[in-house]
């Protein structure tokens, strides 16, 4: 019986030791990964997902631009490069705190590399699955047709599911176009110094009307914030100017006092030399003059600093407008680029939808005709239509239009 007790105790100690070793090993394996994640700092090209359960309108993916900054509604343009995710959360929360009364419980999540914005190509026309596909170096027109499911067969033009899916994608693209059009209108209005959006195109478009209303609300908030920033800067300028005025008055008063004391000291010293006054009086006045001179030097230094503060505050006030102009120009350029890409995708989807609705007989006859390819390429601020062969190399952003009938590529 005692041997059994000893064996049981030994086994218990062994199990406790094994458990402790396993826990220590797990901590060693987990700690480096946690340290590596916590130490990561954002850099240009990173995509960060901003998420708030309490304020869903803040939820979006944002890109860290080459200059290390990000753009977010209400928060404006913020520095993100070199920050950790926790530091970015705090910066965004502070920037938007004036618009919300409660804690946003805001979280920043770094998107993994495979989810970030890759270079894309677009395939439209007589292919099985028109759409956007990831670009691979060295791709040709034939590669693009292959990743799009190959050439469209007549029986596939009859499929209702494909038509429904394409129509759904087209609706999403049209809503995105309306949103981008409203953003462009807001940015143009802000650049022109206007307070209200004006947009005459497609006045009956409900999606556009909703987007314009949202952008007007955002514009009102941005203008309010701009006025607050300018008012705060103006107060700093006025305060620094008032300080300069006060110091100038003190300095002028002190200089008058020094002048009077100097004259009085010369008079007393003359009396001392003639034996009509004691030396002590002259010494006291000389010490007082020394104190006044030292105070004058201190006032002069303070006045120089105050004048420098005025210049700095005035420059900062001017910089608010300069930074805003640059940010608006950058945002407007980006929105116009995205709107142009969206319009290209809409035109391609509309062509594909029209072709998918044509009869099987017409598509069967098209199969007897040679296939032609046209590349739509954006270069030097203009779009070019380039006839191409199967082995023609394509590049990021190209749209490959596959056709079994004649005619020019539809304009956008």
Structure tokens at 36: 């590596």
Residue 62 above 70 pLDDT?
Answer: yes
Structure tokens at 384: 């070019």
Reported pTM: 0.43
Residue 16 above 60 pLDDT?
Answer: no
Query: Please, which contacts does 136-143 make with residues 24 or more away whose CB atoms are closer than 8 Å?
Result: 138/393, 139/393, 139/394, 140/390, 140/391, 140/392, 140/393, 140/394, 141/373, 141/375, 141/388, 141/389, 141/390, 141/391, 141/392, 141/394, 141/400, 142/390, 142/391, 143/394
Mean pLDDT value of segment 42-48: 85
Structure tokens at 128: 């099985």
User: How far apart are alpha carbons 188 and 178 in whole angstroms?
Assistant: 15
Give yes or no for a contact between 390 and 142, defined as CB atoms under 8 angstroms apart: yes
pLDDT band with cut points at 50, 70 and 90 for residue 280: confident
* pLDDT of res. 202: 55
Kindly report, residue by residue over 308-328, the tens digit of the pLDDT.
999 999 999 898 989 999 999
The three-class DSSP label of residue 387 is: strand
Residue 34 above 60 pLDDT?
Answer: no
Give yes or no for a contact between 360 and 378, defined as CB atoms under 8 angstroms apart: no
Cα dist from 59 to 49, 110, 191, 238, whole Å:
7, 13, 26, 40
| Mean pLDDT, rounded, of the chain | 81
* pLDDT of res. 241: 93
* pLDDT of res. 187: 92
Residue 23 above 80 pLDDT?
Answer: no
Residue 368 above 80 pLDDT?
Answer: no
| C-alpha dihedral, 177 to 179 to 180 to 181, nearest 10° | 80
* pLDDT of res. 302: 93
Give yes or no for a contact between 223 and 189, defined as CB atoms under 8 angstroms apart: no
What are the residues facing 399 on neighbouring strands? 122, 376
Q: What is the tally of helices (H) and strands (E) in the chain?
A: 7, 10
* pLDDT of res. 2: 45
The three-class DSSP label of residue 15 is: helix
Of 48-62, 110-124, 338-352, minimum mean pLDDT range: 110-124
Residue of 395 and 362 predicted with greater confidence: 395
* Residue 14 exposed, middle or buried by CB count within 10 Å (0-12, 13-18, 19+): exposed
Kindly report, residue by residue over 344-359, the tens digit of the pLDDT.
999 988 888 887 766 4
Mean pLDDT value of segment 89-110: 86
In the chain, helix, strand, coil percent, each to 5? 60, 15, 25
* pLDDT of res. 5: 40
pLDDT band with cut points at 50, 70 and 90 for residue 18: low
CA neighbours closer than 13 Å in the CB half-sphere of residue 313: 21
* DSSP string for 280-328: HHHHHHHHHHHHHHHHHHHHHHHHHHHHHHHHHHHHHHHHHHHHHHHHH
Residue of 161 and 91 predicted with greater confidence: 91
Q: Could you tell me which of 370, 343, 385 has the C-alpha nearest to residue 126?
A: 370
Q: Could you tell me which of 155, 214, 207, 149 has the C-alpha nearest to residue 183?
A: 214
Structure tokens at 293: 């001179």
Kindly report, residue by residue over 114-158, the tens digit of the pLDDT.
555 678 899 998 888 888 888 888 899 999 998 888 887 655 444
* pLDDT of res. 61: 84
pLDDT band with cut points at 50, 70 and 90 for residue 12: very low
* pLDDT of res. 37: 47
* pLDDT of res. 330: 92
User: How far apart are alpha carbons 186 and 192 in whole angstroms?
Assistant: 10
Give yes or no for a contact between 215 and 197, defined as CB atoms under 8 angstroms apart: yes
Q: What are phi and psi of 206, to 5 degrees?
A: -70, -35
Of 140-144, 389-393, 404-408, minimum mean pLDDT range: 404-408
Q: Could you tell me which of 376, 377, 370, 383 has the C-alpha nearest to residue 351?
A: 376
* pLDDT of res. 110: 85
User: How far apart are alpha carbons 225 and 257 in whole angstroms?
Assistant: 48
Kindly report, residue by residue over 180-239, the tens digit of the pLDDT.
999 999 999 999 989 988 766 555 678 888 888 899 999 999 999 999 999 999 999 999
Mean pLDDT value of segment 274-297: 88
Strands 131-134 and 120-125: antiparallel
Kindly report, residue by residue over 147-176, the tens digit of the pLDDT.
888 887 655 444 556 778 888 888 899 899
Q: Could you tell me which of 332, 341, 348 has the C-alpha nearest to residue 397?
A: 341
């Amino acid at each position: 019986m005692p041997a059994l007790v000893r064996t049981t105790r030994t086994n218990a100690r062994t199990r406790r030791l094994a458990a402790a070793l396993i826990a220590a090993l797990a901590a060693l394996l987990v700690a480096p990964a946690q340290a590596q994640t916590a130490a990561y700092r954002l850099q240009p090209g990173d995509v960060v997902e901003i998420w708030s359960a309490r304020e869903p309108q803040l939820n979006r993916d944002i890109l860290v631009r080459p200059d290390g900054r990000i753009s977010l509604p209400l928060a404006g343009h913020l520095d993100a490069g070199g920050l950790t995710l926790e530091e970015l959360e705090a910066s965004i929360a502070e920037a938007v705190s004036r618009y919300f009364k409660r804690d946003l419980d805001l979280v920043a999540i770094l998107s993994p590399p495979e989810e970030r914005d890759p270079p894309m190509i677009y395939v439209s026309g007589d292919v099985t699955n028109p759409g956007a596909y990831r670009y691979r170096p060295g791709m040709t027109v034939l590669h693009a047709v292959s990743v799009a499911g190959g050439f469209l067969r007549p029986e596939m033009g009859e499929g209702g599911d494909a038509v429904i899916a394409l129509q759904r994608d087209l609706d999403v693209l049209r809503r995105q176009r309306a949103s981008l059009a409203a953003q462009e209108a807001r940015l143009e209005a802000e650049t022109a110094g206007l307070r209200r959006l004006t947009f005459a195109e497609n006045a009956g478009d409900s999606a556009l009307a909703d987007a314009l209303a949202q952008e007007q609300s955002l514009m009102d908030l941005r203008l309010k914030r701009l006025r607050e920033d300018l008012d705060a800067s103006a107060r700093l300028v006025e305060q620094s100017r008032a300080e300069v005025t006060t110091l100038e008055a003190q300095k002028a008063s002190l200089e008058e006092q020094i002048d009077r004391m100097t004259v009085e000291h010369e008079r007393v010293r003359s009396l001392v030399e003639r034996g009509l006054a004691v030396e002590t009086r002259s010494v006291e006045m000389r010490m007082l003059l020394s104190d006044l001179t030292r105070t004058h030097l201190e006032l002069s230094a303070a006045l120089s600093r105050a004048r420098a503060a005025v210049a700095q505050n005035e420059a900062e006030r001017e910089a608010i407008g300069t930074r805003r102009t640059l940010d608006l120009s950058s945002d407007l350029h980006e929105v116009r680029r995205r709107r142009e890409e969206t319009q290209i995708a809409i035109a391609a989807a509309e062509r594909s939808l029209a072709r998918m609705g044509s009869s099987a007989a017409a598509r069967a006859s098209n199969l007897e005709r040679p296939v032609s390819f046209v590349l739509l390429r954006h270069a030097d601020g203009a779009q070019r239509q380039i006839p191409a062969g199967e082995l023609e190399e394509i590049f990021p952003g190209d749209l490959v239009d596959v056709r079994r009938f004649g005619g020019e590529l539809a304009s956008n």
